[in-house]
Amino acid sequence: MPGPLNPEQPPHAQPDQAPAVQSGQLQIPAPPAWFQQFLNNQSRELEIRAKQTEIEAAREQHTFEFSNSALSAQSAYLNNFQDHYTRRFNRLWIFITIVIFVVLFFLGAVILSGNGQIAIELVKAVVYVGAGGVGGYGIAQRKKDVQQQQQQQQQR
């Protein structure tokens, strides 16, 4: 039933009519204005979707480029970090070796000069200082580890 109550037609549409045939050609009536508006809306929507697709593709490309540059920067940083700490570690061991040789040379000179008791007292002092230094270092490292764990737990 055509008319305002028919959901298939808008209320202002005319009832369906058979196309007119004139001079052997089929005459199709012009589409209603709402249909033309629908087609215009669809074409605009397709244009907008094409622009959105271009923007998303550009965003993905920028994200990819940024990720690559971030990875290369991180790789360079880690390589420099490792080189720095390797050199630092090597210098530390060289320093410790030199200190040990100086102490041994000094103890050897004291013993050779005939002052064995002084050499024993020097060895005791070196052992006490060394034990205190190692113990202090261990306590400081433990405190640092506990603080780092607390910070990690607070961040979670």
* Average pLDDT of the segment spanning 112-141: 89
Question: In sequence order, what DSSP letters do the residues of 117-136 get, joined into one string?
Answer: HHHHHHHHHHHHHHHHHHHH
Mean pLDDT of the chain: 84
Q: What span, in angstroms and rounded, lies between the C-alpha atoms of 110 and 74?
A: 54
* Residue 118: partners with Cβ closer than 8 Å, 6 or more residues away: 110
Distance CA 48, CA 42 (A): 10
What are the tens digits of pLDDT across the range 1-47?
A: 444 454 555 555 555 555 555 666 777 777 788 888 888 999 999 99
The per-residue pLDDT for range 68-101, each reduced to its tens digit, is: 999 999 988 888 888 888 898 899 999 999 988 9
